Structure 1
C-alpha cells in the first residue's frame, strides 16, 4: 500500500524575478547626490545641536551644584555636622 499525503506541503518561498534581483536599487542609488548631501548636513547639524544641549545641561548642573555648596558653607548646622571632630589637631 502506498502512503497517502496529508495534502499539506511545506510553504514554498517565492523567488524574486530575475529583473528585480538585478536592479537591487538602494535608497542611496535612488536619491540624487544633492539630496544625500543635504541629509548629511542636516544630520551633522542635529548632532551639533545635541552636543550643545548636553553641554548646556552639564554646565547648568555644575552651576546648581556650586550654588548648593555655597549655600551649605553658610549653614552653621551643616558645617558643624560635617567638620572634623578632632579639634585637638588644630591647636
Structure 2
C-alpha cells in the first residue's frame, strides 16, 4: 500500500501554538541563554580575580619565594 502525498503529518506543538506565544517562548529562551552566558562570564572573572589575588599574596610570602626559587646561585654571579 503506497503512501498518499496528501496525508497530513501529525501536528507538532509548534504548529499548535499561536505565533505570539511562540515568539514569547523564543524571547524567553534567548533571555535565559544570555543570562547563563553572563553568569559564566562573571564566574570566570571572579576566578581570574581570585587567581591574581593568590599570586599577589604568594609574591609577598617570603617562605613561598624561598621554597620556589632556584638554588643554583652560580647563575647569578
TM-score (norm 1): 0.73
Query: 1:44 & 1:73 partners in 2: Cα distance?
Result: 43
How many angstroms does 1:23 deviate by? Answer: 6.4
Query: 2:47 & 2:70 partners in 1: Cα distance?
Result: 28
- Structure 1 spans left out of the alignment, 5+ residues: 1-20
Q: Which residue of 1 aligns with 2:42?
A: 56
Query: 1:22 & 1:70 partners in 2: Cα distance?
Result: 68
Q: Which has the larger radius of gyration?
A: 1
Q: Which residue of 2 aligns with 1:38?
A: 24
TM-score (norm 2): 0.86
Q: State the Cα RMSD in Å.
A: 1.3
- Structure 2 spans left out of the alignment, 5+ residues: 1-6
How many angstroms does 1:86 deviate by? Answer: 1.0
Q: Which residue of 1 aligns with 2:33?
A: 47
Point out 4+ residue stretches in structure 1 off by more than 6 angstroms. Answer: none
More helix by share: 2
